[in-house]
A and B are shown apart, each in its own frame.
Chain A
């Protein structure tokens, strides 16, 4: 699917979710738990998808009218300094995340948050740390 159709599909899906969410709010229902929050989730996701679709489509139209702008955007996207900045920022954020999540896990354990929540968060934390080691070993072989 090309980018034009992807943005159109995103707009249609977003609009449908938004209308569906609004409809569910308007009709009286006796939903409980997750279902009671469903209309608001639909509205949130719908607005996001619709906004993204409209934004993408407007950008595509602007680029189609100006090849110079398209080339400039491609240069910005492929620019090695921009890529290096993005990678360094991600690496810094990951370093911070390791400490923040570690502290959060300790506080979860300390304040008696449910075992299931603590264990699933620990598993997710270890998965990320394990993936980091796996990728490091892979890069070590490749480079």
Chain B
């Protein structure tokens, strides 16, 4: 699973700590999410979707599906 969390966060000028604080998670989790090392639960994905006011599929995308297109 790939995502564009880092780009979205930087576009809004937010630090990892601030995002982590707003979502109630650790800064390490934000870093792992951005690097694609950790896939979030559906609940966290919804929290991120609400935070960035974007649909989940615009934040997270399946790598295989993207390659096929």
Shortest distance from the beta carbon of A116 to any chain B beta carbon, whole Å: 47
B8 an interface residue at 8 Å Cβ cutoff? Answer: no
Shortest distance from the beta carbon of B37 to any chain A beta carbon, whole Å: 9
Tell whether, in the assembled complex, residue A81 and residue B21 are in contact, meaning their CB atoms are under 8 Å apart. Answer: no
- Number of B positions contacting A (CB below 8 A): 13
Proximity string of chain B (7-47) to chain A, C-beta cutoff 8 Å, 1 when within and 0 when not: 00000000000001100111011001000001011011000
Q: Which residue of A lies closest to B17 (CB)?
A: A72
Instruction: A82 to B28: give the CA distance in the assembly, Å.
Output: 9
* Residues of the A chain whose Cβ atoms lie less than 8 Å from the Cβ of B21: 71-72, 75
B interface list, Cβ under 8 A from A: 20-21, 24-26, 28-29, 32, 38, 40-41, 43-44
Instruction: A74 to B23: give the CA distance in the assembly, Å.
Output: 12
A110 an interface residue at 8 Å Cβ cutoff? Answer: no
Shortest distance from the beta carbon of B52 to any chain A beta carbon, whole Å: 18
Tell whether, in the assembled complex, residue B20 and residue A81 are in contact, meaning their CB atoms are under 8 Å apart. Answer: no
Q: Given known contacts A80-B40, A80-B41, is B32 in contact with A75 (CB within 8 Å)?
A: no
Tell whether, in the assembled complex, residue B24 and residue A75 are in contact, meaning their CB atoms are under 8 Å apart. Answer: yes
